[in-house]
Amino acid sequence: MARKSRKANRRHPLATVVLIAIGLVVTGGGYALLSSTTTATADTNASSQETIDEGKKLFAANCATCHGMSLEGTDDGPSLIGVGAAAVNFQVGTGRMPMAMQGPQAMQKPPQFTDEQTAAMAAYVASISPGPAIPDEKYLQADGDATNGGELFRINCAMCHNVAGAGGALTEGKFAPELKGVLPTHIFEAMLTGPQNMPVFNDDNLTPEDKRDIITYLKYIENNPSPGGFELGSLGPVAEGLFVWIFGLGAVIALMVWLTAKSN
Residues near ligand HEC (CB under 6 A):
62-63, 65-67, 76-78, 80, 83, 87-88, 91-92, 94, 96-99, 105-106, 121, 156-157, 159-161, 170, 174, 176-177, 179, 182, 186-187, 190-191, 193, 195-199, 201, 214
CB of 117 to ligand HEC, least distance (A): 9
Query: Given phi > 0 = left and psi -120 to 50 = alpha, else beta, which region is 60?
Result: alpha
CB of 84 to ligand HEC, least distance (A): 8
Cβ-based nearer residue to ligand HEC, 40 or 163: 163
Give the span between the Cα atoms of 183 and 94, in whole angstroms: 9
Q: Distances in Å between the alpha carbon of 112 and those of 97, 104, 109, 154, 181?
A: 8, 21, 8, 33, 18
Cβ-based nearer residue to ligand HEC, 51 or 94: 94
Count of residues in the chain? 264
Cβ-based nearer residue to ligand HEC, 98 or 144: 98
CB of 97 to ligand HEC, least distance (A): 3
CB of 83 to ligand HEC, least distance (A): 4
Q: What is the dihedral of CA 184, 190, 192, 195, to 10 degrees?
A: 170
Cβ-based nearer residue to ligand HEC, 77 or 208: 77
CB of 220 to ligand HEC, least distance (A): 13
Cβ-based nearer residue to ligand HEC, 181 or 227: 181
Check if the beta carbon of residue 165 is closer than 8 Å to that of residue 223.
Answer: no
Give the span between the Cα atoms of 209 and 216, in whole angstroms: 10
Cα torsion angle, 141, 145, 147, 150, sign: negative
